[in-house]
Copies of this chain bind each other. A is one copy, B any other.
Amino acid sequence: MATIYQVSELAGVSLATVSRVINNTVPVREATRIKVEAAMKELGYRPNSVAQSLASNRSNSIGIVVSELGGPFYGELLSRIENEFRAAGKHVIIAAGHSNADLERDSIEFLRGRNCDALILHVEAVDDKYLTELAATGLPFVLINRMVETIEDRCITLDNDRGGYLATEYMLKLGHRDIAYISGPLWKHDAQERYNGHQSALTKFGLSENKALFYEGDFQETGGVNGFNHLRDHGYSFTALVCANDEMASGAITAAHEAGLRIPEEIAVIGFDNINFSHYTYPKLTTIDYPVAEIGQMAARWVLKRVYQRPIDDLKAVFMPKLIVRDST
């Protein structure tokens, strides 16, 4: 690869001048600019962004940490973030945290070491203290789907509590009274909040929770299958099932089919997230919409505004979930 030095030689100017035309920071005489551009073209020159990054302490790249690379949820999130930054001429570097504190820290450190200008984090395992300290280092970052009081201005969240409430409230309004709940792992903030919402709805309707109708799943499809079977075996009957995400709802539906139950006639099922396959299920899944794309976009804009001083004004921190009624209830 050609270097800036070769370009400067060919164009008969100094390195500094070439650098100026690349970044157009300082005006350069038209004639000079043309010479330089010609030289760059002739050599097929492309700036080495590693060197740029080292010299300028700016990398034009944004680090992203998500739990998993796969899956409909993260896929959509990443996709949207990437689009937003691409349009702004920035690039993303993605790392997976696998919901594990060490790996999350690792990924964050890796991205810091790569000189990312900012980070977008969807981390679940590291504690609030770590994040607070990280903020204190001066590294700009946004936190998605998690509220940490000490760095509240960096958090972009969904009102999960409200979402959990909506799901159960809807079942209650439909007349169901025996409502089972399959939760996500309760150490995860969002799982806990959704579950709280579920409980609030029950309370609001003057019902008390029946612990026998609760199951703590893993946010995966198998969790839904296991949860459903566990709840059925347990003896208490229920006419409605609220799942803390769509994957588990899908698993539960499969298990229900296998048990020969009709949905929604015998059991109504609702999910959470509204991920893109939720209408592939049969019957199509009623769910709570998680506006992933919007949240991804907002996170990107936060960075564009705070770090790159782009004029953006409608930053929004808390998103509201919406009920999406389809055929499973």
Residues of A that sit less than 8 Å from B by CB: 1, 46-51, 53-54, 59, 61, 68-72, 74-76, 78-79, 82, 86, 91-96, 103, 109-110, 112-115, 250, 254, 277, 279-282
Q: Which residue of B lies closest to A277 (CB)?
A: B277
- A70: B residues at CB distance < 8 A: 72, 75-76, 78-79
CA distance A94 to B115 in the complex (A): 16
A222 CB, nearest partner CB in chain B, Å:
12
Question: How many copies altogether?
Answer: 2
- A92: B residues at CB distance < 8 A: 94-95
Q: Is the CB of A51 within 8 A of B54?
A: yes
Please pick, from B49, B74, B76, the residue contacting A114 in the complex, using a CB distance under 8 A. B49
- A254: B residues at CB distance < 8 A: 279-280
Q: Is the CB of A59 within 8 A of B50?
A: yes
Q: Is the CB of A112 within 8 A of B75?
A: no
A67 CB, nearest partner CB in chain B, Å:
11
- A113: B residues at CB distance < 8 A: 46-50
CA distance A47 to B109 in the complex (A): 10
CA distance A277 to B276 in the complex (A): 10
